[in-house]
Amino acid sequence: MGTMISQQLKERFQTLLGRYPVKRSALVPMLLFAQDEIGYVSEEIVEEICRTLDLPRIEVIEVVSYYTMLRRKPAGKFHLQVCTNVSCMLLGGESIYDHCRKRLGIENKQTTSDGTFSLEEVECIGACVGAPAAQINYDFYENLTPEKIDRIIESLTAQGK
């Protein structure tokens, strides 16, 4: 799937470039801006950044793999971020995460083949009082149980059609 790079994004790249004395320092901010705009770091983005910063592809790819928040594939329509940090872990966050993996048949940072769901194991999302918690797109879900997750996934599946 190809993605066009908008004029706006190109201009942002130029602005960033002007802000750093060393070109390479603009690499991470550029990747974050690009992901914000199109949802992931596409091949076209990698190429454009290589050209703009005059960097070899391998260097850009290494940085993308290093930063867990950067993704190389589009997220699903519903992006499940399950917290397994301390407060959530103590109250079963890991089993919630495992349940999601099995139920959706995908691993961390993968997307279901129909593009409906993607999954990510995340650090604290600031909802510890409602642990174990998850965030799906912009909504928070708290005091989760495997049964609650099943119901949420079912209702989102129905909405996703």
Residues in contact with ligand FES by the rule CB under 6 A: 83, 85-88, 124-128, 131, 133
Nearer to ligand FES among residue 87 and residue 112 (C-beta): 87
Minimum distance from CB of 32 to ligand FES (Å)? 23
Nearer to ligand FES among residue 73 and residue 101 (C-beta): 101
Nearer to ligand FES among residue 18 and residue 126 (C-beta): 126
All residues at 6 or more sequence positions from 113 whose CB lies less than 8 Å from its CB, including other chains: none
Tell me the CA distances in angstroms from 99 to 41, 104, 146, 158, one per residue in order.
Answer: 28, 8, 6, 19
Minimum distance from CB of 112 to ligand FES (Å)? 24
Minimum distance from CB of 119 to ligand FES (Å)? 16
Question: Residues 120, 104: contact at Cβ < 8 Å?
Answer: no
Q: Scanning the structure block, which residue is given the tokens 């890991």?
A: 94
C-alpha–C-alpha distance, residues 20 and 2, integer Å:
29
